[in-house]
Amino acid sequence: MAISSAPRDWRTLIAAASLITGPLLMTIGDLLHPEERMAPSEQIAILVDHASRWYTAHLLLFVGIILFIPGLLALSALTAARKPAVGYAARILILVGTAALASIFVGEMLVGRFVSDGADPAAATDLLESMFSGPILAAVGPAMLAFFIGTAAFAIPLIRTRSRLGWAAATILIGTFLILAEILSAQVILSQLGNILAFCGSATAAWLILQGATGETRELA
């Protein structure tokens, strides 16, 4: 949807609000996140004492990534105005990846509720092991990676403009890769830093969009 000559129409406001509220909720959620372990039994041992924090953290991550969708589509539209095929691919990849990440957050919310309701630790460990078993990861893993590939796809063309929007896109991209590093290593500090960077970059992009300072592009979604 093209924006009007006035930069602050309702579509612009939705995009800017999304770029602020979505990453902000994800940042708060990740800052609440308890310590993580790769071994399910060790993770459940931590959840026994922090089940409510675990649930709340993933609830905020879930709501945040849903609210982030309009903003991500807006940024990919700015890329599409420069490189239509790349921008289109970024949109598809981001939507696929968002669906996968949202499903993971819901699954982890379920584990938190399961533990907080007094489930036997052995049963909770079995549930967590099933969630991250080979068949599940084979289905969800590639879709999840689509989010990170899609983010790179929209960010790199914007970075190459060497504009203020490019710096914002670079900050988002670095933050996103830190989040991916946390997923692979279970080091929560990485995703906490990543979400903070993603929020800073997204908030900057929102400000630029509201100011109409996104370069030659007049397209937001």
pLDDT of residue 8: 66
d(CA 74, CA 1): 9
**Rg of the chain over CA atoms, in angstroms?**
18
Is 50 a residue whose pLDDT tops 50?
yes
The domain locations on the chain are 10-210
CA angle 33, 76, 62 (to 5 degrees): 25
Nearest partner of 150 among 80, 63, 60, 64, judged by Cα: 80
pLDDT of residue 215: 62
Distance in Å from the first CA to the final CA of the chain: 5
Is 6 a residue whose pLDDT tops 50?
no
d(CA 76, CA 151): 8
Q: What is the mean pLDDT of residues 85-108?
A: 96
Is 152 a residue whose pLDDT tops 60?
yes
For the chain, percent of residues with pLDDT exceeding 70: 92
Quick: pLDDT tens for 99-117.
999 999 999 999 999 998 8
